[in-house]
Amino acid sequence: MKRLWVFFGGVIGITALLFFGASVLTKESGAATSSDKNTVIIYNWGEYIDPELIKTFETETGYSVIYNTFDSNEAMETKIKQGGSRYDLVFPSESIIPKMIEEGLLVPLDHQKLTGTEDLSPFLMDQAFDPDNTYSIPYFWGTIGIMANTEEVDVSSIHGWSDLWDPAFKNDVLMVDGARETLGIALQTLGLSQNEKDPTKVAKALKKLESIRPNVKAVLTDEIKTLMINNDAPLGIGYSGDAAYVMAENPAVTYIVPNDGGAIWTDNFAIPKTVGNLGSLRLHQLYAPPRKCRTKCRIRGLCHAE
């Protein structure tokens, strides 16, 4: 998922945790098996690390990297739960971490082997989904908002999430394929927290979400970016980095964080229960922003846990 320029300057130093395996860039392949202690297997969001960075890491360290990707937290969770494939490092979003902890899918981190965490933004650390960062360390963060084509939409008419329900936008909205994101939008239009747990209120939000159907052109993930670039839809829900990529390709598109707020997401380093290699690792060597990345990141500099 999309292009970000690679830079190596000023990133954090997290030293000595675990690391990497055979230089194979595959997607949901069966290649995630290796008994080689010098091989570390990563399971990450698509194109979240620049392939050139992995090559550099292999050259400098002697480790090999097997790099597999997933396109949703649910797919990643299922694969880890099933076992059978060895993964040494995984990158779950904050919303799935509590569930993975409860299911015993993540291994506690040894913070005595971590250095550089003092350079991370304090507001990203010690969050409710993982107190004391027992199981995870933040990697990327950003927001969720609305991409709007200024040549097709009067953006001054879009102030809050509820504006997406305007009948004027019939068949105009590309909705992101994410349960957390879409239900969260509906909750916000009702003035409720995205973390609402009351079944009655959640049911009300679900009903509200269903009522936007006439305005939804499609429910997609990565394809939203292509359609917005090609002017195939005037409105699209997306992550801040997706928006940055789209705007770079199509200057007519702008990114709006509604007045009622856009959720802040984080994707995180974590060690799954399938880990097979706990050797020496320098995570800071993966902190250079990728040229091609699942660009939920990188708008207004909201990239990495800086």
CA 56 vs CA 12, 49, 63: distances in Å: 17, 12, 10
* Shared-domain flag, residues 36 and 78: yes
* Shared-domain flag, residues 281 and 244: no
Residue 127 lies in a domain: yes
* Shared-domain flag, residues 135 and 159: no
Residue 292 lies in a domain: no
pTM above 0.85, yes or no: no
Residue 293 lies in a domain: no
Residue 162 lies in a domain: yes
124-153 as b/e: b if 16+ CB within 10 A = beebebbeebebbbbbbbbbbbbbbbeeeb
* Shared-domain flag, residues 133 and 175: no
Residue 26 lies in a domain: yes
Letter for the amino acid at 224? I
Q: Give the number of domains in the chain.
A: 2
One-character DSSP codes across 216-277:
EEEEESTHHHHHHHTTS-SEEEEEHHHHHHHHHH-TTEEEE--TT---EEEEEEEEETT---
pLDDT of the chain, 306 residues: tens digit per residue: 332 322 222 222 332 343 333 333 443 444 555 667 789 899 998 767 888 989 998 998 888 999 999 988 999 999 999 988 899 999 999 999 999 999 999 999 988 888 788 888 898 999 999 999 999 999 989 999 999 999 999 999 999 999 999 999 999 999 998 888 999 999 999 999 988 999 999 999 999 999 999 999 999 988 999 999 999 999 999 989 889 999 999 999 999 999 988 788 899 999 999 987 654 444 444 444 433 344 333 332 333 444
* Shared-domain flag, residues 35 and 89: yes
Candidates 210, 180, 175, 177; CA nearest to 195 is 180
* Shared-domain flag, residues 83 and 165: no
Residue 164 lies in a domain: yes
Residue 101 lies in a domain: yes
Torsion of CA 153, 179, 184, 256, to 10 degrees: -30
The region, left, alpha or beta by phi > 0 then psi within -120 to 50, assigned to residue 181 is alpha
* Shared-domain flag, residues 134 and 159: no
The region, left, alpha or beta by phi > 0 then psi within -120 to 50, assigned to residue 240 is alpha
**Sign of CA pseudo-dihedral 293, 296, 298, 303:** negative
* Shared-domain flag, residues 71 and 171: no
* Shared-domain flag, residues 147 and 127: no
Residue 9 lies in a domain: no
* CATH code of the domain containing 57: 3.40.190.10
* Shared-domain flag, residues 101 and 160: no
Structure tokens at 42: 């990563």
Contact 285, 57 (CB under 8 A): yes
* Shared-domain flag, residues 85 and 56: yes
CA 219 to chain centre: 18
* Shared-domain flag, residues 129 and 148: no
Residue 184's domain spans which residues?
Answer: 143-256
Helix (H, G, I), strand (E, B) or coil at 124: helix
